[in-house]
C-alpha cells in the first residue's frame, strides 16, 4: 500500500496568529486598505482589525503596525473605531513616541457629530496616560464637560480624574474640579452627577494632603445642601452610584435629630432594594446616624433584621456569606435582638462549609435561656456530619454555649454522650471542651471523670485531645484509680509522642499526681524528668529543668507552684478586644467585616497613608531632649536600605542570641548536657531505672540532691551609659550605614507594656529615663518603629538600635550596631532589660 501524501498545512486562523510573518502580512493589508474607497472596504478593515487584536491578545508585539492602524482609523464605523482605540490605548503607554501619531485623529474624533464617537475618542485620549501629551487633554475635557450629550459629559467627568493622576498641577490650574462641582449640582443626568462626585472625591482626597483649600472642598461635599440634594435624587441613580452616595451620607454630621429622621425617611425604601450592596450601605447610614440615640439605635436593629435575613436566603452562597458576616457583627453587638430568629441560622444541606461555620458562630452567640435546648439539639445533629470540620465546629459550639451558663445540666450530658460515638475527632474535641467545663464548673468533676476514666489514651490520636485527657489525669488523679499507671504508660512511650504540647502536659500532670499519690508516681516522676531533660524541644527541656530545680530547692514550694488551690474560671479570654470590634463596626459594609479585622491589618501602606515601615527617616519624628517636643525629620539623600528590617536579615539571624541562652533548635542531646549541673547530667544518664523501688520514698535518692551543684557562671560586666549623650540625625544616619550589624533578634514586652504603648512618646520617655535616647519614631497601632541610641559612659562609643514593636503580639524586633563591638552584647542585654520593664512602673 502506497504511503499517503502529506496533508497541506492549514493556514493560520485569526485566533491562532503565527508571529512576525503574520504582523508583516497585517501591515501590508492595512496599508492597502488605508486609502481604499471600495464599498466593502469597512468590512475588510474589520477582518484585519480583528486579526490585529487577536495577535495583541496572544501576546505578539504588533506595535510595528501602529502607523497603519492610525491611517485606517479615518472611518465612521463605530466598531472599527472601538477596535482602533483599544489598540492605541494598549500600545501608547509602552511606546510614548508612537502616541503622538494618535493625537490628531483623536482630537478630530472628539469633534465628531456622533456622540458615541466623541465619547469613545475622549475616553481613549484620557487613557493614553503619557505625561508629554497632557497639554492636548485640557481643551477636549473642558469641551466635553459642556457637551450636549450625557454620555460625553459622563466620560469627561471620569477623564478629569485621569488627568489629575497624570498631572495634578495641570488639572488644578485648568480649574476642572470647580467645573465638576458645578456640573454635579446642575446636570439632569444621574450618571453624570455620580461620575462627577466620584472624581471630585478622588481629586480632593489626594489633594488634601498638600492643600487646605482641598480639605475645605471635601467638607462642602459632606455639607447638608449637597447630601440632601443627592439623597432626594437617589432613586434615579444606578446601584453603583447609590452605594457611592450612601457612603457619602454615612459620613455626614447632622446638626440635630430632625435631620437624622429626614435622612432615614428618605432612605426607608432603600432597605427593600433587591441589591444587597444598596441595602448594606443604607444600613450603615442608619447605624452611624443613630449611634448617639440609644432607643432609636435599638429600633434600627429591629428594622434591619428582616431585610438582612431576606438577603441571606435570596442570593448566591457568596452573597449570603457577605451578608452573614455583617449579621454576625450585629449579632455580637446585640445578641438578644436576634435570639428569636435562631432558626434562620440553622445550616442547610446545600450551604457551603464557610457559610455553615459562620452560622454556627451566630447560633452560639444568640443562645440564651429560652432557646438553648433547641439550638443544642440542632448542633448535636451536626456532630455526626460527614463534613468533619463542621462536625468539629458544632461540638465546639455546644461547649461554648455551656460556658455561657445556659442550661448546663443538659449540655454536659450531651457532651458526655459524644464520647460514646467512637470517632477520634469527636472524642478529641469533646475532651477539650470537658476540660474547659471542669475549669469553670468543678462541681461536675465526679460525673465527667466517671466517663472520661473509661477512655483509653491509645485510642486518642490528636495531640490536643490527648493533652486534655492528660490534664484531667493529673488534676483529678485522686479520683481516678488508674491515673498514675496511665501516666506511667504514657511516659514509657515518650519518644513516640511527637507533639511538644502533649509532653508539656505530661510533665505537669505527673508532677500533680506525684503530690497527690507519691508512692505510686515515684517511678513515673523520675522517668518523666529524665526524659524531659533529654528532650530536644526547648520548651519541654526548660519545663523539666524548672521542675527538677524546684523540687531540689523545696518540695513544699514545688507543690504550691504546680498544684496550688484553684478558683473556678469565671470568664474565658476573648480573642478580639473591644477596641478592634468597634473599629470593625466603624468600617461596616467593607472587607473589614468579612475578614473580621480592621483595614490597617490587611492593606498595604500605599492604601492606608503614612505607615511605620518607611523607607527612610522622612516619615518619622525626631525626638529632642524634651519628650513633648516633636519636629519633622529632614530628608537624607544617602542610601539607607540598611534601616529596613528585611526578610533576609530575619532568616540570616533567626538563631543568633546575645546572652548564651538556648537556641531555637538542638542538634543533639549533648547540647543540653553542656548547660546542666552534674546532678542533672547524672539524672539523664541513669534515667528512671536508678531510683529505689521501696515504698518509703526518698526524694534525695530520686533526684540526686546529694550531688553538689556546679559553680554559677560569673555575671557579665556591667555597662554604664552616659546620662546626656549627644548625636545629631546626620551623624546617626552616617554611622548606621557604615557600621556592621552586631545583633538582630526578637524580644518580648510585658503585657502591661504592650497595653501602655498607645503612642511612641510613652516608650521614648521610658527609655530616656534609662539614658537611651530616641533619634526618630513613627507608626500607628499596632506597629511602631523607633531608632534609639546610647553612649558608653566615659567613652566616645555609640550604640545604635532599630526597634520595631508590634503591640498585638507584644514582640519587638531589634537590630543593634555598635562602635565598640566588644560591649555590644552587654548593651543588648541592658536594652532588653529596660524594654522589658516598660509599663511595669
The closest alpha carbon to 784, from 763, 767, 768, belongs to: 763
Helix orientation angle between 190-207 and 176-184, rounded to the nearest 10 degrees: 140
pLDDT in tens, 192-224: 999 999 999 999 988 887 888 888 888 889 999
Residues contacting residue 698 through CB under 8 Å, at least 6 positions apart: 692
pLDDT at 497: 65
The closest alpha carbon to 434, from 417, 453, 455, 412, belongs to: 412
More confident of the two residues 234 and 493? 234
Categorize the per-residue pLDDT at 94 as very low, low, confident or very high, splitting at 50, 70 and 90: confident
More confident of the two residues 555 and 624? 555
Between CA 455 and CA 461, with CA 457 as vertex, the angle to 5 degrees is: 115
pLDDT at 296: 92
pLDDT (average), residues 125-147: 87
Helix orientation angle between 445-452 and 408-418, rounded to the nearest 10 degrees: 10
DSSP codes, 520-532: HHHHHHHHHHHHH
* pTM for the whole structure: 0.64
pLDDT at 666: 33
Q: Give the dihedral sign, CA 232/235/237/241.
A: positive
Does the bond joining 682 to the residue before it have cis omega, within 30 degrees of 0?
Answer: no
More confident of the two residues 352 and 610? 352
- Tell me whether residue 481 is exposed, middle or buried, using C-beta atoms within 10 angstroms of its C-beta: 0 to 12, 13 to 18, 19 or more: exposed
pLDDT in tens, 465-478: 889 988 988 888 88
The stretches of 208-291 forming alpha helices (DSSP H) are 212-221, 224-232, 239-250, 257-267, 276-289
Categorize the per-residue pLDDT at 695 as very low, low, confident or very high, splitting at 50, 70 and 90: very low
* 15-24, 257-266, 647-656: the lowest-pLDDT one: 647-656
pLDDT at 634: 34
DSSP codes, 157-176: HHHHHHHHHH-HHHHHHTTH
Q: What is the dihedral of CA 786, 792, 798, 803, to 10 degrees?
A: -20
Instruction: Give the span between the Cα atoms of 609 and 276, in whole angstroms.
Output: 30
pLDDT in tens, 318-348: 988 999 999 999 988 888 888 888 888 898 8
Instruction: Give the span between the Cα atoms of 500 and 463, in whole angstroms.
Output: 9
Helix (H) or strand (E) holding 818: strand 811-818
Helix (H) or strand (E) holding 379: helix 372-382
* 209-218, 256-265, 568-577: the lowest-pLDDT one: 568-577
Eight-state DSSP code of residue 4: P
The stretches of 441-517 forming alpha helices (DSSP H) are 445-452, 463-475, 483-492, 500-516
* 88-92, 297-301, 712-716: the lowest-pLDDT one: 712-716
pLDDT (average), residues 63-90: 80
Is pLDDT at 12 greater than 70 in this prediction?
A: no
Highest mean pLDDT of the ranges 258-267, 460-469, 486-495, 677-686: 258-267
Is pLDDT at 150 greater than 90 in this prediction?
A: yes
pLDDT (average), residues 496-513: 87
Q: What percent of the chain has pLDDT over 70?
A: 83
Eight-state DSSP code of residue 600: G
Mean pLDDT for all residues in the chain: 79
Helix (H) or strand (E) holding 775: strand 773-780
CA dist 448 to 427, 439, 473, 592, Å?
A: 13, 12, 12, 41
Is pLDDT at 11 greater than 70 in this prediction?
A: no
pLDDT (average), residues 805-834: 88
- Number of helices and strands (H, E) in the chain? 40, 7
pLDDT (average), residues 756-785: 86
pLDDT in tens, 398-454: 888 888 865 677 788 888 888 878 788 888 888 888 888 888 888 877 778 878 877
Is pLDDT at 253 greater than 50 in this prediction?
A: yes
* 386-390, 550-554, 557-561: the lowest-pLDDT one: 386-390
Categorize the per-residue pLDDT at 179 as very low, low, confident or very high, splitting at 50, 70 and 90: very high
pLDDT (average), residues 826-839: 89
Lookup: cell for 691: 531510683
Lateral strand order in the sheet of 773-780? 630-632, 621-623, 773-780, 783-791, 798-806, 811-818, 741-748
539: how many CB neighbours lie within 10 A of its CB?
Answer: 13
Lookup: cell for 805: 514593636
pLDDT in tens, 53-65: 888 888 888 878 8
Is pLDDT at 655 greater than 50 in this prediction?
A: no
Highest mean pLDDT of the ranges 221-225, 616-620, 643-647: 221-225
pLDDT at 574: 63
Beta-bridge partners for 741? 817
Amino acid at each position: 500500500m502506497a504511503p499517503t501524501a502529506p496533508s497541506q498545512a492549514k493556514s493560520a486562523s485569526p485566533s491562532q496568529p503565527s508571529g512576525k510573518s503574520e504582523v508583516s502580512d497585517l501591515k501590508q493589508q492595512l496599508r492597502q486598505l488605508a486609502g481604499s474607497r471600495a464599498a466593502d472596504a469597512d468590512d475588510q478593515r474589520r477582518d484585519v482589525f480583528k486579526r490585529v487584536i487577536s495577535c495583541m491578545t496572544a501576546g505578539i508585539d504588533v506595535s510595528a503596525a501602529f502607523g497603519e492602524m492610525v491611517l485606517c482609523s479615518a472611518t465612521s464605523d463605530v466598531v472599527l473605531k472601538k477596535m482602533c482605540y483599544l489598540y492605541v490605548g494598549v500600545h501608547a503607554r509602552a511606546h510614548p513616541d508612537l502616541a503622538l501619531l494618535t493625537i490628531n485623529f483623536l482630537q478630530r474624533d472628539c469633534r465628531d457629530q456622533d456622540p458615541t464617537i466623541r465619547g469613545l475618542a475622549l475616553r481613549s485620549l484620557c487613557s493614553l496616560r503619557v505625561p508629554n501629551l497632557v497639554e492636548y487633554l485640557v481643551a477636549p475635557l473642558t469641551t466635553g464637560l459642556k457637551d450636549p450629550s450625557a454620555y460625553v459629559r459622563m466620560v469627561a467627568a471620569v477623564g478629569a480624574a485621569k488627568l489629575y493622576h497624570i498631572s495634578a498641577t495641570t488639572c488644578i490650574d485648568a480649574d476642572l474640579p470647580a467645573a465638576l462641582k458645578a456640573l454635579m449640582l446642575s446636570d439632569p443626568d444621574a450618571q453624570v452627577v455620580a461620575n462627577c462626585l466620584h472624581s471630585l472625591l478622588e481629586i480632593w482626597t489626594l489633594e488634601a494632603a498638600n492643600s487646605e483649600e482641598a480639605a475645605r472642598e471635601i467638607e462642602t461635599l459632606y455639607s447638608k445642601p449637597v447630601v440632601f440634594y443627592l439623597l432626594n435624587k437617589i432613586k434615579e441613580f444606578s446601584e453603583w452610584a447609590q452605594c457611592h452616595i450612601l457612603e457619602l451620607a454615612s459620613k455626614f454630621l447632622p446638626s440635630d435629630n430632625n435631620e437624622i429622621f429626614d435622612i432615614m425617611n428618605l432612605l426607608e425604601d432603600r432597605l427593600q432594594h433587591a441589591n444587597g450592596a444598596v441595602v448594606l450601605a443604607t444600613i450603615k447610614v442608619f447605624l452611624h446616624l443613630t449611634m448617639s440615640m440609644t432607643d432609636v439605635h435599638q429600633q434600627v436593629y429591629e428594622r434591619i433584621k428582616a431585610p438582612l435575613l431576606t438577603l441571606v436566603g435570596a442570593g448566591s452562597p457568596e452573597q449570603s456569606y457577605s451578608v452573614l458576616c455583617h449579621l454576625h457583627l450585629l449579632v455580637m453587638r446585640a445578641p438578644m435582638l436576634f435570639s428569636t430568629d435562631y432558626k434562620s441560622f440553622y445550616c442547610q444541606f446545600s450551604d457551603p462549609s464557610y457559610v455553615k461555620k459562620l452560622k454556627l458562630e451566630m447560633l452560639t452567640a444568640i443562645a440564651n435561656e429560652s432557646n438553648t435546648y433547641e439550638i443544642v439539639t440542632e448542633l448535636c445533629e451536626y456532630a455526626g456530619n460527614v463534613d468533619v470540620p463542621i462536625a468539629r465546629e458544632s461540638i465546639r459550639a455546644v461547649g461554648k454555649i455551656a460556658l455561657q451558663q445556659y442550661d448546663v445540666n443538659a449540655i454536659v450530658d450531651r457532651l458526655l454522650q459524644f464520647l460514646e460515638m467512637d470517632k477520634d475527632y469527636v472524642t478529641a474535641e469533646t475532651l477539650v471542651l470537658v476540660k474547659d467545663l471542669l475549669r469553670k464548673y468543678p462541681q461536675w468533676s465526679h460525673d465527667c471523670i466517671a466517663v472520661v476514666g473509661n477512655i483509653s489514651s491509645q485510642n486518642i490520636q490528636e495531640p490536643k485531645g490527648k493533652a486534655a485527657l492528660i490534664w484531667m489525669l493529673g488534676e483529678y488523679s485522686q479520683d481516678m484509680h488508674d491515673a498514675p499507671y496511665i501516666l506511667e504508660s504514657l511516659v514509657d512511650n515518650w519518644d513516640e509522642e511527637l507533639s511538644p504540647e502533649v509532653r508539656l502536659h505530661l510533665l505537669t500532670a505527673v508532677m500533680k499526681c506525684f503530690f497527690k499519690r507519691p508512692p505510686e508516681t515515684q517511678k513515673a516522676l523520675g522517668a518523666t524528668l529524665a526524659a524531659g531533660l533529654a528532650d530536644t524541644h526547648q520548651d519541654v527541656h526548660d519545663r523539666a529543668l524548672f521542675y527538677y530545680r524546684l523540687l531540689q530547692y523545696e518540695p513544699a514550694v514545688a507543690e504550691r507552684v504546680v498544684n496550688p488551690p484553684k478558683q473556678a474560671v469565671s470568664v474565658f479570654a476573648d480573642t478580639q478586644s473591644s477596641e478592634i470590634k468597634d473599629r470593625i463596626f466603624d468600617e461596616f459594609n467593607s472587607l473589614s467585616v468579612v475578614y473580621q479585622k480592621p483595614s490597617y491589618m490587611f492593606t498595604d501602606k500605599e492604601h492606608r497613608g503614612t505607615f511605620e515601615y518607611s523607607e527612610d527617616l522622612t516619615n518619622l519624628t525626631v525626638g529632642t531632649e524634651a519628650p513633648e517636643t516633636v519636629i519633622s525629620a529632614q530628608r537624607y539623600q544617602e542610601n539607607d536600605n540598611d534601616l529596613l528590617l528585611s526578610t533576609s536579615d530575619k532568616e540570616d539571624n533567626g538563631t543568633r542570641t546575645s546572652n548564651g541562652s538556648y537556641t531555637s533548635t538542638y542538634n543533639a542531646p549533648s547540647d543540653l548536657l553542656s548547660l546542666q549541673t552534674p546532678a542533672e547530667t547524672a539524672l539523664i544518664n541513669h534515667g528512671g531505672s536508678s531510683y529505689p523501688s521501696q515504698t518509703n520514698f526518698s526524694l534525695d535518692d530520686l533526684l540526686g540532691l546529694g550531688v553538689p551543684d556546679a559553680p554559677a557562671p560569673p555575671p557579665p560586666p556591667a555597662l554604664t551609659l552616659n546620662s546626656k549623650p549627644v548625636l545629631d540625625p546626620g551623624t546617626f544616619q552616617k554611622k548606621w550605614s557604615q557600621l556592621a550589624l552586631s545583633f538582630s533578634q526578637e524580644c518580648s514586652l510585658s503585657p502591661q507594656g504592650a497595653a501602655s504603648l498607645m503612642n511612641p512618646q510613652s516608650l521614648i520617655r521610658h527609655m530616656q529615663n534609662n539614658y537611651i535616647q530616641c533619634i526618630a519614631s513613627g507608626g500607628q497601632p499596632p506597629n511602631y518603629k523607633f531608632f534609639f541610641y546610647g553612649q558608653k559612659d566615659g567613652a566616645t562609643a555609640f550604640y545604635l538600635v532599630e526597634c520595631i514593636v508590634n503591640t498585638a503580639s507584644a514582640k519587638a524586633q531589634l537590630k543593634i550596631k555598635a562602635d565598640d563591638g566588644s560591649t555590644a552584647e552587654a548593651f543588648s542585654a541592658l536594652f532588653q532589660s529596660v524594654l522589658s520593664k516598660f509599663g511595669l512602673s
